[in-house]
Structure 1
Amino acid sequence: MPTDANRIRLVLALRSAGITDAAVLGAIESVPRERFVPETFRDQAWEDIALPIGLGQTISQPRVVAMMTEALRVSKRHRVLEIGTGSGYQAAVLARLCRRLYTIERHPALLARAESILKELGFTNIVFRAGDGMQGWPELAPFDRIIVTAAPAEAPKALLDQLSPESGIMVIPMGKTADSQHLWRITRQGDRYDREQLAAVRFVPLLPGVADDSGEESRLPRL
């Protein structure tokens, strides 16, 4: 089980890595990461490492979660779209900071597990959807913020279109290969999209469509 020392050590490591936003650090400290980590890796939950969660997906290392969240510049006024629910950990951090979070996952089995955990933890400002993240959530657009937790070669046009034209921000990893991925912040002003490269990263690829997870629930790692 995690201790206060584990949490404090992680927060100090994140500060040393350049994360300075107190709200982001507070959210990281308050979200019980061990709830989103498979039982086999529970003793590593508060280390700054990525861990497998099943179906070829991972829970991102806290430093990357903190860096992306800080780059997103989220406030309690914002409606945020997350592409790639995964374990639900990034969703939990964001939901502490925004007004409402809409999260899409292409693996229904992962989405069901994440939704169950997040509801057990008392989150009431998250809306879940199994779907093709590359298409976004057009009927609820525009979004003040969009975060993408898998890497396309280029930002999908559908997501750019769904970003608020009034200083909307998207944080997204992009690269044609795993070795060429970088994290980008895209800020929209009307029809103009300003791009800022932030850091080298490595994410699973962003894929189209909805995965066929028939029977996969029973094969996911135990939490």
Structure 2
Amino acid sequence: MTIDYAHAREMMVEQQVRPWEVLDARVLDVLGTLPREDFLPAEQRALAYADVPLPLGGGAFSLKPVVVGRALQALALDGSEDVLEIGTGNGYLTACLGQLARDVVSIERDGERAAAADAAIKAHGLNNVQVVNADAMAWDTPRRFKVICVTGAVEAIPQKFIRWLEPGGRMFIVRGRSPAMEAVLLHNDVNGPRIQSLFETDLPYLAGAAPAPTFEF
């Protein structure tokens, strides 16, 4: 059976993403044209436009298309931004960021995933994206970014992530304890971080960012 990916992509936008209040024309254009199947292994391509998170291995999952859409819309990219993505995953969201922003650095702790994502991104001619194989919880940089997009959940937002933001910068991140997590946009205002609540969701934690286990007697 041959899948009409272009039609499936159109249906994803019209039946999943738009109804979830993603109305930004630039975001919808990227989601409607970038082939998500190109970022997936062969066995997952039939599910490229399904409303489900797809396993990446090691307990990690890709974001559902609706969450990708909401994250991109919240970040309100205009093409001038330097972006840091924490958690490259399969590289699909990374490529979306690359089409919407000036420059993207994406951190991925799994070496095989980083290499596969980098190859898929390069295949789409996105030369403004750099994939770095590193653990974001151990990695550091003196660079500051206008935008940060975090693709895994944290119990609490790490101070080092905020330190990587420029003054006036913004960060999309999901925080809290499963199953009741909150996606937020953190604004790095002059008087300190300001949190804007976006929507409720439930994501796997970033490695090293999960709450400590609790023991019940």
TM-score, shorter chain, exceeding 0.5: yes
* Map 1:64-79 → 2, pairs under 5 A: 64-79=67-82
Q: Which residue, out of 95, 99, 105, partners 1:92? A: 95
Q: Secondary structure at the match of 2:38?
A: helix
Q: Find the partner of 1:8 among 10, 15, 31.
A: 10
Helix, strand or coil for the counterpart of 1:144?
A: strand
**SS of alignment partner, residue 174 of structure 2:** strand
Tell me by how many angstroms 1:56 deviates.
2.2
Tell me, which stretches of 5 or more residues in structure 1 are unaligned? 210-223
Structure with greater contact order relative to length (CA < 8 Å, sep ≥ 6): 1
State the secondary structure of the residue aligned to 2:127.
coil
Q: Structure 2 matches for 1:99-110, cutoff 5 A?
A: 99-110=102-113
Name 2:186's counterpart in structure 1: 186
2-structure distance, mates of 1:53, 1:2: 24
Cα 1:207–1:32 shift into 2, 3 Å: same
Query: What is the match of residue 59 of structure 1?
Result: 62
1:196 to partner: Cα distance? 1.2
TM-score using structure 2 length = 0.89
RMSD over equivalenced CA pairs, Å: 1.6
The amino acid of 1:95's aligned partner reads G
**Conserved in 2, the CA contact under 8 Å of 1:163 and 1:188?**
yes
What's the CA shift for 1:38?
A: 2.5
Counterpart amino acid of residue 52 in structure 1: P
Give the distance between the partners of 1:164 and 1:174, measured in 2 at CA: 21
Mapping of residues 1-223 of structure 1, within 5 Å: 1-13=3-15, 14-135=17-138, 137-139=140-142, 141-165=143-167, 167-175=168-176, 177-208=177-208
> What whole-Å deviation, never above 9, does each CA across 1:36-95 have from its counterpart, x for those lacking one?
222222112122221112232222110000001111111211000000001101101111
1:28, 1:2 → 2: CA distance?
16
SS at 2:45 equivalent: helix
- Relative to structure 1, the CA distance from residue 47 to residue 204 in structure 2 (aligned partners, 3 Å threshold; closer, same or farther) is same
Q: Name the amino acid aligned to 1:152.
A: V
The residue type equivalent to 1:91 in the other structure is T
Q: Give the letter for the 1:57 counterpart.
A: A
TM-score by length of 1: 0.87
Which letter does structure 1 place at the counterpart of 2:155?
Answer: A
Q: How many residues of Structure 1 are paired with residues of Structure 2 in the alignment?
A: 206
**Identical-residue share of aligned pairs (%):** 30
* More strand by percentage: 2
